[in-house]
Amino acid sequence: MKRRKWDSKTKAKIVLEGLSGMSVSEVCTKYQISQNQYYLWRDKFLSESYRAFENNSNVTKEDRLKKRILNLEQTLGAVTFELKKLEDEEV
C-alpha cells in the first residue's frame, strides 16, 4: 500500500476537528488515519502553536540573504564565463 503524504494545512484541519469536539475515533475514521497518528499530529500542533504569533522577520531576512547569495553566485558565474571567453579569443 502506498503511503499518503499529508500537507500541513490538512494536518492542522484534522487536528482542529478533533480539538473542536468531534471524537478522535470519528476524525480518524473520516480521514482513514490511526489514532496514534492523530495524537502525534495533535501533540506537535499544540507544542508548536506558539510559532503562529512569532515575528517572522528572521525568516524573511534569511530568505532575503539566500536570494542575494544566489544572485551573487549567478553574477560570478556569468563574469567567469565572459572572462574565459575573452581569454580564449586572445589565444
43-83 residue pLDDT tens: 999 999 988 887 766 677 888 899 999 999 999 999 999 99
Q: In this structure, are 47 and 34 located in the same domain?
A: yes
Q: In this structure, are 27 and 37 located in the same domain?
A: yes
pLDDT recorded at residue 51: 85
Q: In this structure, are 66 and 81 located in the same domain?
A: yes
Its domain, for residue 12, covers 1-54
Q: In this structure, are 48 and 24 located in the same domain?
A: yes
Question: With helix as H, strand as E and coil as C, how does the chain read?
Answer: CCCCCCCHHHHHHHHHHHHCCCCHHHHHHHHCCCHHHHHHHHHHHHHHHHHHHCCCHHHHHHHHHHHHHHHHHHHHHHHHHHHHHHHHHHC
Give this prediction's pTM. Answer: 0.59
More confident residue, 55 or 20: 20
One-letter amino acid at 2 equals K
Q: In this structure, are 16 and 48 located in the same domain?
A: yes
Q: In this structure, are 64 and 48 located in the same domain?
A: no
Q: In this structure, are 3 and 37 located in the same domain?
A: yes
More confident residue, 31 or 56: 31
pLDDT recorded at residue 26: 97
- Total domains in the fold of the chain: 2
